[in-house]
Every structure is written in structure tokens, then in C-alpha cells.
Amino acid sequence: MAQHDPPPWTKYVEYVSENIKLGNLSALRTFRVLRALKTISVIPGLKTIVGALIQSVKKLADVMVLTVFCLSVFALIGLQLFMGNLRHKCVRNFTALNGTNGSVEADGLVWES
């Protein structure tokens, strides 16, 4: 087996997904995407590009964790600062929504669109 040949299990999965009729198993057809992985080992420039992409995704994962942490902290601060501020505001009590003609009934009044 040459160095640029794919592992034997990928050939087996590819053969099974192409030649066996097992009804509606379109999930097996997704293994055809593995054919594109053969070209990565053949073209040396593509190998360096894919390696750089994988390294950047690993570093972006750390950035995303930090971003989610900061957003969570600011969300908790916002909840504590504005807790209960909208409690005594005027909000209409919607009693009925007529789905046939788009009219809304609230506080005894009917609005039609």
C-alpha cells in the first residue's frame, strides 16, 4: 500500500455505500465525502493549508469559550441591575386573538389589521 492510499476501511465503507441496496440508507452515502480526503495527502500545498485550518479551529475554540464566559458574566450583571424594573409598567392584557381576520381584543377594545 502506497503512502497516499486511503486506509482499507474507507474503501470498504465506500464500496458498501455504493453497491448495496438496503432501502433508504442515505446516511451511508455521506461516506462518499471521504473521497475528497484522498487529495489532501496527494497535494503537499493542500496538506499545509488543512493543517493550518485545523490549528486555527483549535485556537478559535479557546476564544469561543472565553467569549461565552464573558457574555454569561455580563448577562448575570444585567439581570441583577435591571431585576424588577419592568414590573410596574403598563402592559395591555390581551384576552383574545382572532386568527381568522387578524383582529386583537384587549381591555374590551378590538383592533383589526
Asked if 73 and 96 sit in the same domain, the reply is no
Is the pLDDT score of 20 beyond 70? no
Q: In terms of domains, do 77 and 94 share one? A: no
Return the closest-CA partner of residue 35 out of 61, 59, 17, 58: 17
Structural domain count, the chain? 3
Query: Could you give the CA distance from residue 27 to residue 7 in angstroms, rounded to a whole number?
Result: 20
Same domain, 2 and 24: yes
Residues 9 and 37 in one domain: yes
The predicted pLDDT at position 74 comes to: 97
Assess whether 2 and 34 both reside in one domain. yes
Per-residue pLDDT at 1 exceeds 70: no
Judgement on whether residues 71 and 95 belong to the same structural domain of the protein: no
List, for residues 51-108, the tens digit of each pLDDT value.
Answer: 899 899 988 998 999 999 999 999 999 989 988 776 666 656 555 555 566 676 666 6
Domain identity same for 3 and 27: yes
Closest-CA residue to 38 (of 47, 29, 30): 47
Indicate whether 31 and 3 sit together in one domain: yes
62 vs 42, which has greater pLDDT?
Answer: 62
- Structural domain harbouring 78: 45-82
Same domain, 19 and 2: yes
